[in-house]
Structure formats: structure tokens, C-alpha cells
Amino acid sequence: MFRVKYRYVFILLLAIYSLFNILLVVGDKLFEFPIPKIFLFALLLVVVLVIWELNRLTEVLIDKWYKPGRKVHPLIILFLTSQVNSVIAACSGLLILYVAMGLPLEWNTDHVKLVSAFAFRVNLFLNCVNAIYYFMEKFKNAEIKAEQFKKASIEAQFEALRNQINPHFLFNCLNALSNLVYKDADTSAKFISQLSYVYRYLLYSQERKIVSLAEELEFMDAYLYLLKIRFGENIFINKNIQTDVEKFHIAPATLQMLIENAIKHNVVSGKAPLKIEITSLNGSITVANNLQEKKVKEPSAYVGLKNIKKRYEFLSNKPVEIKKTDSEFIVKVPLVRIEPS
């Protein structure tokens, strides 16, 4: 609040209001001698101005050095510091008044107490307004973030479903199934069962922000089975999970989107098999694939990766890490741990 664009207008208006208030209550005899109205106004203006500007500087310093998670709220630190600012403002105003009126520059405890009392009241008022402004901004930002999360979540759900329900995916699954039907009835039945599970999971998880890692990995088993039937020995997927899958959570279909992304942008063939490693350790899960990019690249806006990053901005204080080397493409996703209530 202290850094608002038109703060000097507010300072002037507050000084004018204070002048009329004092004139109405005690007139021009604030001290034991009458004070010309212009000098009284100057005194009040200086006090308000110094309080506001010192509080603004304090606010900047607190924003710069305050670390989130500390027990003392920054508003409390600002208020306590502003008490000193009020005394400085009162003394500054008195000094200017003495000089302007040609009075001797000597310490007068009564004058200091009187002007300090006014400064404390102004400071209390400004800190109250600042607190209201602070929490209104917090509430406004929370609403904006909630809306952004809702939008990102919907887009991510759409992307996950689009990757599965698009005609290309269906064609590949049905083509693989048609080859299996006459060769291996048992494998065909399992393929249909796993395909059904994949679609059911995607549909049921749409409304959920997070799922347990156990659920996501169970879904991945079904999805990876479909991929193995489609690509055979052209794709190798290895899982190394050293995490408590029941305690940690993940945004639904995150792993599926990352694997689909790897398949989309890389060659998958007998001569150049795609190797994907899924590793979970120390509160995160990593999907890495060997880099063998297609010469003719498919059109992509990288919506999947963008949406995963956006969703995790709301789900975790740790970012999604994306790293590309000469030989690998690696995405590290933080897992969310929910403590039992």
C-alpha cells in the first residue's frame, strides 16, 4: 500500500483532513502559543510524509530480506518498525516548525509527546489500511491462482485424453488388436481389458487434482502393456520405484503424457529402439529417454509439458525440472506428500 502510484495525493489529503480535525477540536493553539495555519499544515504534512516514506522504505527492505516460513508475520515487523518511524517523523516536523517560526532549537518534552501522539495515530491508521490492502491483494492473487490452476488442469486433462482418443492412437490399438485376434486369443482378451482400464482411468481421474502414486503406476502398467504390444522390441521401458507409493501423490496422467511426448518426438524402430527409464527416489519421479529425434518432426506446441509445469506450480513448491542433453531428454517431477489429518 505504501508504494501506490498516487501516494503523494493521499499524503496531501490526509494532512488536510488532519488540519481540519485539529482546528475543529483545539484551534490553532496546539501548543502553549498560537501557530499560523500554514505552519500547522506544514507540520502535519511533514509528519505524514515522513511516516509514509519511511514505512515505504521499510516495506521494501522487508520484502527483500524476509524469508517465507518465519513465525513473525511481515506486517507485524512493519508495524513495530513503524513506531520508530513515527518518532522520527514527529521530531522532523517539530524541527522544521521551530526553524520556520524562528523558535530556539531546544528539546521540549511536551511538544515531542504531543506531536508523537499525533504521529502514532496516523501511523496506526496507515498500518490498518495497509493490512486491509495486503490481505485483499492476497485474496485477489489466491483467486487468480485458483482460476489459473483450474484452467491448466482442464487443459491438461484434455491433452491427456486427446493423446489417447485421437484417431491415430485408436488406429494403432485396433490395428495391433486385429493382428492378435487370430494369433493369440488370450493376449487379445488381455489387450482389450488393459485398453478398457486405460480409458476408464483417464475418464474417472478427470475431476481429481492428484492421485496416489500407486494408482498412477497401476494405470501405467496397463498403458505400458498397450505400448509393448504396439511396438514390441522397438521400445524398452524400465521402472525403478524406491518410494512409498501410498504416501506420495502425483497429478493424474502425468507419466502417460511424458511417455507419449517421448514417443511423439523420437524414432521408435528395431534399429533404434526407444529406451525409457521411470525412476522414483527421494520424493520425486523421473522419466528419461534416449534422444533420437525424428528428422521430420510432428507439429507440437509442447502443451503437455507446459501444463504439467503449470499444474505443479500449484501442487508443489518444487518446480518440474526439464533437462535435454546430447543423448537424453529428462523430466523430473516432484511428488506431493499429504500428511494425514
CATH-assigned architecture of domain 166-337: 2-Layer Sandwich (3.30)
Coil vs helix vs strand at 80 = helix
Alpha helices in the chain (DSSP H): 7-25, 37-65, 74-101, 109-165, 167-181, 185-204, 213-231, 254-265, 303-315
Distance between CA atoms of 312 and 149, rounded to whole angstroms?
9
- pLDDT per residue rounded down to tens, the chain (341 residues): 687 788 889 899 988 988 888 888 776 667 777 888 899 899 999 999 999 999 999 988 988 888 777 778 888 889 999 999 999 999 999 999 999 888 888 888 888 998 999 999 999 999 998 898 888 888 888 888 888 777 777 666 656 655 554 556 667 777 778 877 878 888 888 889 988 888 888 778 767 788 999 999 999 999 999 899 888 899 999 999 988 888 899 988 899 889 988 998 999 999 999 999 999 988 899 999 999 998 876 655 556 788 788 888 878 888 999 999 999 999 999 999 876 55
Coil vs helix vs strand at 335 = coil
pLDDT tens readout for residues 31-71: 777 888 899 899 999 999 999 999 999 988 988 888 777 77
Q: Nearest-CA neighbor of 240 among 205, 273, 281?
A: 281
Contact 268, 256 (CB under 8 A): no
Distance between CA atoms of 272 and 119, rounded to whole angstroms?
77
Coil vs helix vs strand at 240 = strand
Which amino acid appears at position 311 of this protein?
R
Comma-separated ranges of CATH 3.30.565.10 domains in the chain: 166-337
Q: Which residues of 99-118 are buried (b: 16+ CB within 10 A; e: fewer)?
A: eeeeeeeeeeeebeeebbeb
Distance between CA atoms of 286 and 255, rounded to whole angstroms?
9
Contact 39, 23 (CB under 8 A): no
Measured at the CA of 48, the angle between CA 46 and CA 52, to 5 degrees, comes to: 115
